[in-house]
């Protein structure tokens, strides 16, 4: 995790320490830098706000993790003695449950921000929660990242064409299909795919992320196995995701088609395909880049269910396992990682956008 | 006044085939839900078809049991009908609460502007961008034995930003219109301007807000249920899908148990989405002029 404590202040301070007019002048001469600083400040505020909401949300949940831990230990070691008061107190300190809610909050944030420490996990006690999470993170990034990008590319291209050729039969069918399916949970498609391809036809595996008889490593067999096991979960995300992007791209495309510069391009005698790719498409893929970042949180939500169905060893499965065992530190850790990843992705895309979009100098 | 409103509604529907289709599908589903006690009685023919051990277990679909029976010997078709009405009720409750909250937030933020808008919009934006599913899961820990209404309230906590976002952007564009300025120079009070000038013009977008919140709410609840964290005591379509997965309907080939609820929910999502897009196409002049089917 990067530093994120009361951050806007730092930005303000640097402005105060220098003569204000000098900073102002510099910023007005460098609008791009001013935009970047503003955007970064907003990012820090959002990150802090989201992490705070998540912390209090989970701390107000009923249930006592320390009692759960002791019960688990007793079950595992058939150990019947009552836990002593000191033992409970020690565990309370270890899990960061000392003091009132505010003290807990300050301590948690301090550990998280300064040391990247999320406290011990319960599902894998005493392994720290961050270690458990880091183990599952690559699987989710691989599955969700690749599927989300693929869906975006397919959706924007098909959506642009559907808008461009509006009124034609193919476009009408695609658009109506997209309206019907854009808001279906990935999980539904995943369930149908599993039933057809795994249980009925027996062509593809229904569970796990790779064949357990193959040793993990950079070998062709292992990579092939990962791809084979990832195909169904990825497909369910790509299919629905594509329909979503088709719909929004088409809605961006349609108003553009009436613009004068397109009429002019046509009057110049440019070919239709050139007008589409060089004039029209550029105006709809830029807003869609921002939209991509915003959609990531939503995709993560859906991904949790898909991972759970396939027993895929990613963040989603870890989250559900942690919830079943009331493992607060891991639940909060997964949530925080997801929040951090999504907000950072949105920030990076927003900072990238000015480089792609020549109109940015008008931005405030 | 009510007649005028009705005329406007009829005209709007006639203008958009998409909106009409969505509304017809919704109306059909609501009808089925309203008559669900009757339909279930007809299916049972004297006995209660959704009682445990009403019939034999795992019957395959036949004329007597259109969708077969489940692991407790209950008629799947009757269960699906019952669950559909529960799903619709939750969507309506959560949609309504979210819309009211969304409208209030949107008006306060959009009309007042300034730092209030800044705070409210940032907060709404955070809730829209971050993955809220883990937070919803946390809430579900409270929902062991809750009523349908309480489930609706719980779900709407995460569904209102959808409504607030749509409506706020419209308030922003409306409040600078000349007729609002005119009302302001005639010394109309804020409340008066909001109720008489802004609200009527916002109705279609409040409709969009309602549809997208209801969609988001049902979506969220189904998500909770399919990982087994659904609120106890509420049997809706998501719960039936979860039962199908856990009882091994997938391996047994009892496909109606999950395919039919999925199909119904997909149809419901499609109808709500058609209402959304239909309304937007009618009321967004930029889309209207050139939008083909």
Q: How far apart (Å, rounded) are the C-alpha atoms in residues A228 and A174? A: 29
Q: Which of residues 195-224 of B touch A (CB under 8 A)?
A: 215, 219, 222-223
DSSP string, A225-263: HHHHHHHHHHHHHHHHHHHHHHHHHHHHHHHHTT-HHHH
**CB–CB of A275/A266 below 8 Å?**
yes
List domains and CATH numbers for chain B.
2-41+75-291 (1.10.3720.10)
Residue B129: pLDDT band by 50, 70, 90 thresholds?
Answer: confident
Whether A232 is in a domain gets the answer yes
Q: Which of residues 6-25 of A touch B (CB under 8 A)?
A: none
What pLDDT, on a 0 to 100 scale, did the predictor assign at position A5? Answer: 42
CA dihedral B57, B58, B62, B67 (to 10 degrees): 110
Q: Which residues of A232-244 are buried (b: 16+ CB within 10 A; e: fewer)?
A: bbbbbbbbbbbbb
Q: Per-residue pLDDT averaged across A79-103, rounded?
A: 72
Q: Of A20-24, A26-30, A183-187, which range is least confident?
A: A20-24
Q: Shortest Cα distance from A343 to chain B (angstroms)? A: 7
Q: What is the CA radius of gyration of chain A?
A: 25
For B250, which of A179, A187, A195 is closest by C-beta distance?
A195
Residue of B21, B122, B131, B260 to mutate when probing chain A, most A C-beta within 10 A = B131
Is the pLDDT at A137 greater than 70? The verdict is yes
Q: Which of residues 88-127 of B touch A (CB under 8 A)?
A: 122-123, 125-126
Q: Per-residue pLDDT averaged across A274-300, rounded?
A: 85
Q: Per-residue pLDDT averaged across B106-110, rounded?
A: 83
Whether A47 is in a domain gets the answer no
Is B273 in contact with A46 (Cβ distance < 8 A)? no
Q: Which domain holds residue A160?
A: 136-323
pLDDT one-digit tens code per residue, A105-132: 888 888 888 887 777 777 777 788 888 8
Whether A220 is in a domain gets the answer yes
Residue B286: pLDDT band by 50, 70, 90 thresholds?
Answer: low
Whether A361 is in a domain gets the answer no
**CB–CB of B98/B159 below 8 Å?**
yes
Residue B46: pLDDT band by 50, 70, 90 thresholds?
Answer: low
Residue A359: pLDDT band by 50, 70, 90 thresholds?
Answer: low
> In which residue are the tokens 């404590």 written?
A5
pLDDT one-digit tens code per residue, B6-18: 787 788 777 788 8
Whether A159 is in a domain gets the answer yes
Residue B100: phi, psi to the nearest 5?
-60, -50
Higher per-residue pLDDT: A332 or A326: A332
Say whether residue B182 is in contact with chain A using an 8 A CB cutoff: no
Residue A19: pLDDT band by 50, 70, 90 thresholds?
Answer: low
Q: Which of residues 40-79 of A touch B (CB under 8 A)?
A: 42, 45-46, 49-50, 53-54, 57-58, 61-63
What pLDDT, on a 0 to 100 scale, did the predictor assign at position A242? Answer: 95
Q: Which residue of A has its CA nearest to B118?
A: A42
Q: Per-residue pLDDT averaged across B202-222, rounded?
A: 87
**pTM of the predicted model, to two decimals?**
0.82
Is the pLDDT at A291 greater than 80? The verdict is yes
Is the pLDDT at B2 greater than 70? The verdict is no
* Three-state secondary-structure class, residue A124: coil
Say whether residue A240 is in contact with chain B using an 8 A CB cutoff: no
What pLDDT, on a 0 to 100 scale, did the predictor assign at position A154? Answer: 95
Q: Per-residue pLDDT averaged across B214-242, rounded?
A: 84
Is the pLDDT at A80 greater than 70? The verdict is no
The chain-wide mean pLDDT, for chain B, equals 81
Within 8 A by CB and 6+ apart from B120, the residues are B105, B108, B109, B164
Within 8 A by CB and 6+ apart from B138, the residues are A57, A58, A61, A331
Q: How far apart (Å, rounded) are the C-alpha atoms in residues B138 and B135? A: 5
Domain count, chain A: 1
pLDDT one-digit tens code per residue, A211-234: 777 777 777 777 777 787 788 889
Whether A112 is in a domain gets the answer no
Cβ neighbourhood burial of B247 (10 Å; 0-12, 13-18, 19+)? middle
What pLDDT, on a 0 to 100 scale, did the predictor assign at position B37? Answer: 85
What pLDDT, on a 0 to 100 scale, did the predictor assign at position B96? Answer: 93
What pLDDT, on a 0 to 100 scale, did the predictor assign at position B266? Answer: 92
Q: Which residue of A has its CA nearest to B281?
A: A251
Say whether residue A157 is in contact with chain B using an 8 A CB cutoff: no
Q: Of A48-52, A94-98, A104-108, A352-356, which range is least confident?
A: A94-98
Q: Per-residue pLDDT averaged across A350-361, rounded?
A: 74
What pLDDT, on a 0 to 100 scale, did the predictor assign at position B70? Answer: 73
Whether A131 is in a domain gets the answer no
Q: Which of residues 219-258 of B touch A (CB under 8 A)?
A: 219, 222-223, 226-227, 229, 241, 245, 250-251, 253, 255, 258
Q: Which of residues 192-221 of A touch B (CB under 8 A)?
A: 192, 194-195, 199-200
pLDDT one-digit tens code per residue, A223-279: 777 787 788 889 999 999 999 999 889 888 888 887 888 888 888 888 888 888 888
pLDDT one-digit tens code per residue, B180-202: 788 878 877 777 887 777 788 88
Is A46 in contact with B229 (Cβ distance < 8 A)? no
What pLDDT, on a 0 to 100 scale, did the predictor assign at position A104? Answer: 84
**CB–CB of B278/B22 below 8 Å?**
yes
Is the pLDDT at A18 greater than 70? The verdict is no
Angle of helix A31-59 relative to helix A101-115, nearest 10 degrees? Answer: 130
Share of chain A above pLDDT 70, in %: 88
**CB–CB of A112/A337 below 8 Å?**
no
Whether A76 is in a domain gets the answer no
Task: CATH number of the domain at A164, please.
Answer: 1.10.3720.10
Q: What is the ipTM of this complex?
A: 0.81
DSSP string, chain B: -HHHHHHHHHHHHHH-HHHHHHHHHHHHHHHHHHTHHHHHHHHHTTS-TTSTTSS-TTPPP-SSSTT-B-TTS-BHHHHHHHHHHHHHHHHHHHHHHHHHHHHHHHHHHHHH-HHHHHHHHHHHHHHHHS--HHHHHHHHTT-SB--HHHHHHHHHHHHHHHHHHHHHHHHHHHTTSHHHHHHHHTT--HHHIIIIIIHHHHHHHHHHHHHHHHHHHHHHHHHHHHTT-PPBT---HHHHHHHHHHTTHHHHT-THHHHHHHHHHHHHHHHHHHHHHHHHHHH-HHHHHH---
pLDDT one-digit tens code per residue, A40-57: 998 999 999 999 988 888
Q: Per-residue pLDDT averaged across B149-164, rounded?
A: 85
Q: How far apart (Å, rounded) are the C-alpha atoms in residues A295 and B137? A: 20
Residue of B125, B134, B241 to mutate when probing chain A, most A C-beta within 10 A = B134
- Give strand pairing partners of B69: B75
Residue of A255, A299, A318, A322 to mutate when probing chain B, most B C-beta within 10 A = A255
């Amino acid at each position: 995790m990067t530093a994120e404590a009361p951050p806007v202040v730092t930005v303000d301070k640097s402005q105060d320490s220098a003569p204000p007019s000098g900073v102002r002048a510099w910023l007005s001469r460098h609008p791009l830098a001013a935009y970047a600083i503003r955007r970064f400040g907003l990012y820090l505020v959002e990150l802090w706000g989201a992490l705070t909401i998540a912390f209090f949300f989970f701390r107000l949940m009923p249930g006592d993790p320390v009692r759960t831990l002791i019960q688990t230990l007793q079950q595992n070691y058939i150990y019947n003695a009552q836990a002593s008061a000191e033992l409970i107190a020690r565990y309370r300190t270890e899990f960061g449950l000392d003091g009132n809610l505010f003290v807990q909050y300050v301590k948690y944030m301090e550990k998280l921000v300064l040391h990247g420490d999320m406290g011990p996990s319960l599902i894998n006690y005493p392994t720290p929660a961050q270690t458990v999470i880091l183990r599952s993170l690559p699987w989710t990034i691989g599955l969700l990242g690749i599927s989300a990008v693929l869906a975006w590319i397919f959706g924007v291209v098909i959506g642009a064409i559907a808008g461009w050729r509006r009124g034609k039969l193919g476009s009408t069918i695609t658009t109506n299909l997209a309206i019907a399916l854009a808001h279906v949970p990935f999980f539904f498609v995943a369930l149908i795919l599993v039933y057809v391809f795994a249980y009925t036809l027996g062509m593809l595996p229904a569970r796990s992320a790779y064949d357990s008889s193959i040793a993990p490593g950079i070998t062709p067999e292992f990579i092939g196995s990962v791809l084979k096991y990832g195909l169904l979960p990825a497909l369910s995300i790509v299919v629905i995701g594509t329909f979503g992007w088709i719909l929004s791209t088409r809605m961006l495309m349609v108003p553009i088609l009436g613009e004068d510069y397109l009429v002019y391009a046509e009057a110049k005698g440019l070919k239709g395909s050139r007008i589409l790719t060089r004039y029209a498409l550029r105006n709809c893929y830029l807003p869609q880049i921002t939209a991509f970042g915003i959609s990531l949180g939503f995709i993560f939500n859906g991904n949790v269910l898909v991972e759970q169905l396939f027993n895929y060893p990613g963040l989603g499965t870890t989250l559900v396992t942690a919830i079943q065992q009331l493992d607060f530190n891991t639940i909060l850790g997964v949530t925080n990682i997801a929040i951090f990843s999504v907000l950072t992705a949105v920030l990076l895309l927003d900072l990238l956008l000015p480089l792609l979009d020549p109109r940015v100098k008008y931005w405030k | 006044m009510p007649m005028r409103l009705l005329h406007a509604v009829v005209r709007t529907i006639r203008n958009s085939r998409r909106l009409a289709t969505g509304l017809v599908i919704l109306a059909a589903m609501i009808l089925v839900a309203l008559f669900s006690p009757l339909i279930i009685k007809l299916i049972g023919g004297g006995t209660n078809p959704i009682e445990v051990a009403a019939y034999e277990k795992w019957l395959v679909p036949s004329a007597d049991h259109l969708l077969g029976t489940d692991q407790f010997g209950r008629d799947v078709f009757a269960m699906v009908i019952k669950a559909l009405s529960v799903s619709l009720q939750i969507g309506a409750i959560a949609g309504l609460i979210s819309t009211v909250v969304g409208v209030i937030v949107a008006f306060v933020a959009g009309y007042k502007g300034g730092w209030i808008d800044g705070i409210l919009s940032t907060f709404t934006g955070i809730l829209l961008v971050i993955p809220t599913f883990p937070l919803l899961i946390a809430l579900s820990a409270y929902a062991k034995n809750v009523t349908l209404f309480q489930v609706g309230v719980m779900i709407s906590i995460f569904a209102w930003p959808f409504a607030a976002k749509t409506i706020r952007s419209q308030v922003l564009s409306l409040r600078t219109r000349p007729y609002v300025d005119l009302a302001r120079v005639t010394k109309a009070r804020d409340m008066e301007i909001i109720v008489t000038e802004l609200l009527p013009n916002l109705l279609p977008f409040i409709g969009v807000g309602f549809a997208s919140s209801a969609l988001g709410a049902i979506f969220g609840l189904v998500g909770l249920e399919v990982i087994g964290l659904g609120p106890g005591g509420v049997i809706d379509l998501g719960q039936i899908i979860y039962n199908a997965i856990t009882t091994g309907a997938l391996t047994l080939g009892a496909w109606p148990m999950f395919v039919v609820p999925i199909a119904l929910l997909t149809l419901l999502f499609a109808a709500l989405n058609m209402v959304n897009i239909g309304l937007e196409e009618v009321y967004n002049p930029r889309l209207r002029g050139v939008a083909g089917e």
